[in-house]
């Protein structure tokens, strides 16, 4: 059975979403992937490690990890306890070690120790789903993709771009968001949404009164609307 096609969004919703995106682009001109990496393999590994922890913490362990295991072949041959010792601060280190050893071995065995540049191939790697695959495609290969992490899912719901039920389903949300924007905007759109979610539109208490896109947000008022109160909630660096 073929998947249900994504309905064409209303023109006014498209216009509002794109206007909001333009404002976010002005508000966050330095938006980018906040994981440190030099190549596709490093980004793949860092993204796997980023589950249930902060990018800052991942960035604190990856220099030692990549110095010891610069590529898939070296990591596939690593001793489990050595990897676990390095990545322990990121949490869930045993499961993450399983993923790192598995994906590295698969890259060596099936892809000549190279990270593939196709979604269909990336999601066959142990521990790699669509979210991780889209991060790698967008930032390592320049292939547009939509990364529906917790920040993006929260923001597209609050902004009214995606219905709440759809926002809970990463695949449906991915297609619904994609229908609102040109494909070439997808990767940077997600970086800007994530920047905004980490710095202003927080999960528990959004800084509504200091939000650069408040005028286009139907959820305005979920957090403090007083500008001075809201300003105290802003962060200059993403905590997660």
The two three-digit tokens of residue 128, written as one number: 């790699």
Do 43 and 62 touch, CB atoms closer than 8 A?
A: no
**Residue 93 and residue 71: Cα distance in Å, rounded?**
19
Q: Where are the alpha helices (DSSP H) in 4-140?
A: 11-27, 40-49, 55-68, 72-76, 80-87, 93-110, 119-122, 130-140
**Residue 142 and residue 219: Cα distance in Å, rounded?**
33
- Indicate which residue of 55, 96, 131, 139 is catalytic: 131
CA dihedral 227, 225, 194, 240 (to 10 degrees): 80
205 is catalytic: no
- Indicate which residue of 55, 96, 139, 149 is catalytic: 149
121 is catalytic: no
Q: Where are the alpha helices (DSSP H) in 69-129?
A: 72-76, 80-87, 93-110, 119-122
Of 36, 63, 41, 51, nearest to 90 (Cα)?
51
Q: Any idea which residues carry the catalytic annotation?
A: 131, 149
């Amino acid at each position: 059975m073929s998947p249900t096609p994504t309905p064409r969004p209303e023109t006014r919703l498209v216009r509002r979403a794109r206007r909001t995106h333009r404002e976010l682009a002005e508000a966050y001109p330095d938006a980018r992937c906040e994981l440190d990496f030099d190549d596709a393999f490093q980004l793949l590994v860092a993204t796997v490690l980023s589950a249930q922890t902060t990018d800052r913490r991942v960035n604190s362990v990856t220099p030692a990890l990549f110095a010891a295991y610069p590529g898939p072949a070296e990591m596939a041959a690593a001793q489990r306890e050595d990897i676990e010792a390095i990545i322990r601060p990121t949490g869930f280190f045993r499961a993450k070690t399983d993923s790192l050893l598995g994906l590295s071995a698969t890259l060596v065995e099936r892809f000549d120790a190279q990270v593939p540049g196709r979604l269909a191939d990336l999601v066959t790697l142990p521990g790699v789903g669509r979210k991780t695959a889209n991060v790698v495609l967008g930032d390592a290969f320049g292939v547009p993709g939509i990364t529906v992490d917790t920040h993006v899912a929260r923001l597209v719901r609050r902004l009214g771009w995606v219905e709440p039920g759809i926002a809970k389903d990463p695949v449906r949300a991915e297609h619904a968001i994609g229908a609102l924007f040109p494909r070439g905007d997808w990767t940077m759109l997600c970086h800007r949404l994530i920047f905004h979610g980490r710095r202003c539109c927080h999960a528990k208490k959004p800084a509504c009164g200091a939000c650069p896109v408040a005028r286009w947000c139907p959820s305005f008022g979920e957090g403090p609307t007083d500008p001075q109160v809201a300003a105290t909630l802003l962060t200059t660096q993403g905590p997660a």
